[in-house]
């Protein structure tokens, strides 16, 4: 018989909100003087996990922005990265000359961000930076720069606030860790 995994609280909704408020303030301050050419910050949201993070972050930014989405897959249905990154849904807007900010909810092995940064750079944007809500440095396989980071976390499998386990738990307001 299948045993239901246990959820342990990790980051509450108010704690997440505080991290995002700080990130949004830093990003807004940094980009305010840089957008005179392009008029807006070009945000690329990594579906599906960054859905809620991006929605909350973007609404707290005080600089103009445009939003596009990409969906990459390195995880299967389980809790381990499969190693190679595939594009399931590509961006839809040209990036040449744009200031691009990638928004990802958690940087783990670094493969997703590394793949995406390299791919986007090929379109000759004015700049590419990465904003991650969470990062697990102990799991890194490829070094990547996360310019705007909410918090480093230990090596636990997290769910909630966009993060899933086999498509479950994305809709939790808090972030929890799973123990099976």
Binders of ligand 5GP among 4-23, rule CB under 6 A?
Answer: none
The binding track of 67-96 with respect to ligand 5GP, each residue x by CB under 6 A or -, is -------xx-----x---------------
Nearest-CB residue for Mg ion: 49
Taking CA atoms, 12 is separated from 8, 19, 148, in Å, by 11, 11, 20
Catalytic site residue from 104, 108, 155, 164: 108
Q: Is the dihedral of CA 16, 128, 111, 77 positive or negative?
A: positive
Residue 49 is a binding residue for Mg ion (CB under 5 A):
yes
The binding track of 99-138 with respect to ligand 5GP, each residue x by CB under 6 A or -, is -----xxxxxxxxx--------------------------
User: DSSP labels for 71-138?
Assistant: EEEEE-SSSSEEEEEEEEE---S--TT-EEEEEEEEESSSHHHHHHHHHHHTT--SEEEEEEEEE-GG
Rounded CA gap, 106 and 2, in Å? 28
Q: Active site includes 108? A: yes
Nearer to Mg ion, 46 or 81 (CB): 46
Residue 81 is a binding residue for Mg ion (CB under 5 A):
no
Residue 109 is a binding residue for Mg ion (CB under 5 A):
no
Residue numbers of the site for ligand 5GP (CB under 6 A)?
46, 49, 74-75, 81, 104-112, 157-159, 163-165
List the catalytic residues.
108
């Amino acid at each position: 018989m299948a045993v239901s995994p246990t959820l342990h609280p990790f980051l509450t909704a108010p704690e997440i909100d505080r991290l995002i408020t700080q990130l949004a303030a830093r990003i807004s301050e940094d980009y305010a003087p840089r957008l005179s050419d392009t008029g807006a910050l070009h945000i690329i949201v990594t579906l599906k996990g960054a859905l809620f993070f991006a929605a909350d972050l973007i609404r707290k930014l005080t600089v103009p922005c445009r939003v596009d989405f990409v969906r990459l897959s390195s995880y299967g249905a389980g809790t381990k990265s499969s190693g190679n990154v595939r594009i399931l849904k590509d961006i839809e807007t040209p990036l040449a000359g744009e200031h691009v900010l990638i928004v990802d909810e958690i940087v783990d092995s670094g493969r997703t961000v590394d793949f995406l940064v390299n791919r986007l750079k090929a379109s000759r944007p004015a700049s590419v930076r990465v904003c991650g809500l969470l990062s697990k440095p102990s799991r890194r396989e490829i070094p990547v720069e996360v310019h705007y980071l909410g918090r480093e976390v230990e090596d636990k499998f997290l769910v909630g606030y966009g993060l899933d386990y086999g498509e479950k738990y994305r809709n939790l307001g808090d972030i929890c860790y799973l123990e099976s």
